[in-house]
Amino acid sequence: MTAGRSSKKCPFKAAKVDFIDYKSLQILKQFISQYGRIVPRYYTGVTLQNQKKLSHAIKLAREMALLPYVK
């Protein structure tokens, strides 16, 4: 029995998503807090590889002015 941790499933791995697009704003908004910060892995259950892709896509969307930097 493991102590305390429940393993969350990666939503991108479950949906078999290979590429996280910076233009899919509805998906990206799920991983941004109400203050405009990127939600960490331990809350969302996203794998490390997908978290890096996700943060890169969010930063690209911010630079293209599709997402705000702060709210």
- What pLDDT digit, counting tens, does each position of 22-50 carry? 999 999 999 999 999 999 999 999 999 99
Kindly report the average pLDDT of the chain as a whole number: 91
Residue 61 contacts residue 22 (beta carbons within 8 Å) = yes
- Predicted confidence (pLDDT) at residue 52 exceeds the cutoff of 70: yes
Q: Is 41 within a domain?
A: yes
Q: Is 7 within a domain?
A: no
∠ CA 44-47-53, nearest 5°, is: 95
Q: Is 9 within a domain?
A: no
3-class DSSP assignment, residue 48:
helix
Q: What is the pLDDT of residue 7?
A: 78
The pTM of the full predicted model, rounded to 2 decimals, is: 0.87
Q: How far apart are CA 25 and CA 12, in angstroms?
A: 15
Q: What is the pLDDT of residue 71?
A: 75
The label of the residue with tokens 């697009």 reads: 21
**Residue 55 domain boundaries:** 20-63
For residue 25, give the CATH number of its domain. Answer: 4.10.640.10
CB atoms within 10 A of CB 8: 12
Q: Is 44 within a domain?
A: yes
Q: Is 29 within a domain?
A: yes
What's the total number of domains in the chain? 1
Q: Is 52 within a domain?
A: yes
